[in-house]
Amino acid sequence: MFQKAKTMVFPRQVFAGHRVIERTGEMCKYLGLNGNALIVTGSRTKKIAGKKVEEILNDDGYNAHLVEIGAATNENVEKVKKIAEEIKAGFLLGVGGGSKIDVAKLCAKEIKKPFISIPTSASHDGVASPKASIKGGVSVDGVVPLGIVADTEIIVKAPYRMLASGCADVISNLTAVKDWALAHKLRNESFSTSASTLSEMSARVIMENADRIKPGLEESVWIVIKPLIESGASMCIAGSSRPTSGSEHLFSHALDRIAPIKALHGEQCGVGTIMMMHLHHGDWEEIRYALKKIGAPVNASQLGIKKEDVVKALVMANKIRKDRYTILGDNGLSADAAEKLAKITEVI
């Protein structure tokens, strides 16, 4: 008797476009959210959108509270959790960049409350995914946002570097799905064709529109935000980060340990994708060209990282997650092989 079951959780409503932040209260009512609202934001993002969301929710009959945090740390998750319990929060809203949204989704998981994602920048695909990154570690499970409010008028005002980083993060799906397929073939790892296809499609949309993605254009944000959300949705289908995180992410996580706070997550993943695509015998030059057109880094110098740190990260990468099989294999790269790879792909 065939007995196989899988649970998939997706955002129930997405607003993306010009001034959609005005519809935050409408979304909360549609989703049936009740009780006090806790808005997780930062000092800068509070001015950009946090206060606006608070005013909108209060006008719509909710009792909204703001909490300001910094980086995505366990301490900040505990801080938000404590305040959420004190005010008896019925739901949470993450308003800001990746760290604010990650803390909100982790806290929402711990206190078992719904969460809405309201990005003020688009630097990676965590906007729509259940995954969160805690400073100094790899991604962990949070909750899928019940709703997403992606206001292109707000996002376009963020530094363009962040949008370019988001593009690079989505482009990195191209090597992630190759790693996943390899693990399926060699290790019989569970594989989802639909998740893999959606992930790769979102990357291709960015690649094909690279020359239309430019600083200061709200249309550029509109082009990027849809694939960014679709990339997050591929993780919802897979039930893991597999369709969007492979050897290129392991390289990025290794860099985080060797050269912390040097470059953005998506920027590092983009450079990692160039090198990992070469290992897969794919068209790494196509990746490099698209990243250059968008204005994302393509080498160590542009990342602000020493050449020797790139080599160290490549050697360390396969040790970051022993449970995740990639093109790096069980033994990883030697220092000589890593240096050769970085030179061939013009990363160093």
- Answer whether residue 74 is part of any domain: no
Q: What confidence category does residue 2 fall into, taking pLDDT thresholds of 50, 70 and 90? A: very low
In a domain, 260, yes or no: yes
Contact, 224 vs 120, CB < 8 A?
Answer: no
Asked, for residue 21, whether it belongs to a domain, the answer is no
Q: What share of the chain is helix, strand, coil (3-state, %, to 5)?
A: 55, 10, 30
Specify burial of residue 125 (Cβ count, 10 A radius: 0-12, 13-18, 19+).
buried
Least confident of 121-125, 277-281, 339-343: 121-125
Neighbours of 200 (CB within 10 A): 18
* CATH number for position 275: 1.20.1090.10
Q: Are 94 and 68 a contacting pair, CB within 8 Å?
A: no
Give Cβ neighbours of residue 192 (< 8 Å, ≥ 6 apart): 237, 238, 243
Interval 314-327 mean pLDDT:
96
Per-residue pLDDT tens over the stretch 81-101: 999 999 999 999 999 998 999
Q: What is the pLDDT of residues 142-156, one digit of tens each?
A: 889 999 999 999 999
Domain membership flag for residue 315:
yes
Q: Which of 156, 132, 99 is nearest to 245 (CA)?
A: 132
Average pLDDT, integer, range 289-318: 97
Q: What is the pLDDT of residues 13-38, one digit of tens each?
A: 999 999 999 999 999 999 999 999 99
Number of domains into which the chain is organized = 1
pLDDT score recorded for residue 137: 64
Dihedral angle, C-alpha 74, 77, 81, 82, nearest 10 °: 60
Q: Is residue 189 part of a domain?
A: yes
- pLDDT computed for residue 76 by the predictor: 95
CA distance 157 to 152: 9
User: Is residue 98 domain-resident?
Assistant: no
Query: Please, where are the H alpha helices in 31-159?
Result: 43-45, 51-59, 74-86, 98-111, 152-155
Q: Is there a domain that residue 283 lies in?
A: yes
CA distance 122 to 158: 8
Is pLDDT at 51 greater than 70 in this prediction? yes
Which residue segment(s) compose the domain that 235 sits in? 160-344
CA dist., res. 93 & res. 74, Å (int): 18
Would residue 87 count as lying in a domain?
no
Residue ranges in 172-246 assigned as alpha helix (H): 173-187, 193-208, 218-238
